[in-house]
Chain A
Amino acid sequence: MTGRSGFSVQTLSVFAALCAEPTGWRHGYGIAKDTGLKSGSLYPILIRLAERGLVEARWEEEQPAGRPRRHLYRLTRDGLAQAKAALAEQTASQYHPASAASRAGRRRVAEEGT
């Protein structure tokens, strides 16, 4: 199921988790806990977002004691802009479905007019 922005509901939930701390790096299990997504759903989403340049990933630089290094994620500048736009659109359509629909209709008419 995809929203008007073209992102699935699951992807929007990943955006929401990453937007909560836009400059900080998050790890996969933390995002999974925030979104409620299983690993089999979360990682394909992260892969697609990284391939589209919306998410950047890196490994922890220091080797922590007692556990392996983690793979960390955060939104790129482009990703943050798209995530905010998509989440704003989702919020608008949830709380003002009529106005969101009319906005979409007006945009369609304007696009057809041009």
Chain B
Amino acid sequence: MDRVTRILAGLVGASAGLLPAARREWAEAMLAEAGEVPAGAGRVAWLGGGLWLVAREALIGRVMRVMTFGAGAAGMAWIGWPGGSSNSATPLNRVYVVGTVVLLAVLPVVVRRYFGPVRGGWAPRAARVGGYALVLVLIAAKIAKDRYGSKLGAYFVIVPGLWGLDIVLLLVIAGYVAGLLILTSQHIRLTRSGLPIGIGFGAVTAGVLYTLAPLSVGVDPASPSLKWWGLAGLALPAATGLLAGRLAARQARPAVLTAEQGARQGSLAACCAMATAALLLAVLTSVTIALFPHRVPLQLGPTGRGNSYIAGGGCETCDPNDTVIPRGLRHEYWVELSVGQAGQMSFALLLLAPFLGAGLGAVAGGFASGSRGTSGRGLGGPHAPSPPAPSQPHRRLRASDATVGR
């Protein structure tokens, strides 16, 4: 029985490394207690429970995560990979499928190395799952939209400039994924309420803006909806930053939050809000265009040469530009051109929104906390984010831990 106990204790100690860092100490705690349990069947059962704990917390959770991600990635590939050789968007779409899967799989490993694992609590985990789902849906919808918008492939040649733009967009998506992982990691000291506030405000704003312009077209200087976009771009980060700074100051009591710490909390929360709004808006818009391409109004091409140019058989995206489209294909060309271009405003916002949010949120957060005093002793208090709890990290688990004391 003693040998069984030692083997089990060794297994618990060795397998504890499979657990996320935040949960490893629970296995250590169980092992430390094992010595108190009467030797024999009771101790074996106790250590058996330890193995079950590790299996349940590490393997099942990990397997579930991998399977869920695999299913999402497979779904995106199922939508994104097919495409006829005559469709000029097919090679680009396949680059997106491979690039997105690689980004989503590799970035967590890189971010974990520098910023630690996911923060405790439901909000960071839910944000990661939701963020990954949004990125997969966004790419699938963008691919479907682009495929529809390039069916007449001979007239939609993907010139090097377009390849460059799409690579930039892929890098922006990578930035979003990295930002999501970093904001939800252990080393970022965002208050407990910062993430839910940012995501909540961003989601509501995206919903309102989407209702105003579901296809994201018509957002030109003369469009009445543009002022709402502008208003949201200023009000969202300001409100989020103010609220985040205010709540951080309240949570820091009895210590006082410095203006610098308030600015940091406001900046992080507002950046999160703007990124959420931009990403959600891009997803909603792209999905709507992909599902209802015939509802996209006809619009000018990228060079904006006028309706008569396209109606007259001119090809804006051809190389050379003096290609003439046969009469029977002109309307279809115009429809595809419009679908391909629709929603580009929301993609442009993806690049700008987080920076605007971080800047305005910092000002608002600093103002919210600065008005309460600047001689603080730091962000503390019972609900303030704290560094990982002290544990026994410098001491490796030993099988003998289970047998001492009795």
Do A and B assemble together? yes
Task: Please state if B120 and A39 are interface contacts (CB–CB under 8 Å).
Answer: no
Report the bound CA distance from A68 to B389 in whole Å: 18
Task: Please state if B36 and A40 are interface contacts (CB–CB under 8 Å).
Answer: no
Residues from chain B with Cβ under 8 Å of A39 in the complex: 30, 33, 45-47, 49-50, 53
Instruction: Give 1 or 0 for each of B3-31: 1 = CB within 8 Å of chain A CB.
Output: 00000000000000000000101101111
Report the bound CA distance from A66 to B406 in whole Å: 9
Task: Please state if A44 and B56 are interface contacts (CB–CB under 8 Å).
Answer: yes
Near B by CB (< 8 A), chain A positions 31-63 give 32, 38-44, 46-47, 51, 57-59
**Interface size range of chain B in the complex:** 20 to 34
* Residue of B50, B122, B391, B392 touching A40 (CB-CB under 8 A): B50
Task: Please state if B33 and A44 are interface contacts (CB–CB under 8 Å).
Answer: no
| Closest chain B residue to A61, Cβ basis | B390
Number of interface residues of A (CB under 8 A): 23
Residues from chain B with Cβ under 8 Å of A46 in the complex: 26
Most buried by B among A46, A58, A59, A69: A59
Known: A40-B48, A69-B392. A47 touches B26 (CB 8 A): yes
Task: Please state if B391 and A43 are interface contacts (CB–CB under 8 Å).
Answer: no
A28 sits at the interface (CB 8 A):
yes
Near A by CB (< 8 A), chain B positions 28-57 give 28-33, 35-37, 45-50, 52-53, 56-57
| Closest chain A residue to B47, Cβ basis | A39
Known: A39-B46, A67-B35. A59 touches B390 (CB 8 A): yes
* Residue of A32, A42, A57, A67 touching B405 (CB-CB under 8 A): A67
Task: Please state if B30 and A28 are interface contacts (CB–CB under 8 Å).
Answer: yes
Those 3 A-B pairs whose CB atoms lie nearest each other, nearest first: A40-B49, A39-B49, A71-B29
Given pairs A29-B36, A39-B45, 6 additional interface contacts (CB within 8 A): A38-B46, A39-B49, A51-B120, A58-B390, A67-B32, A67-B35
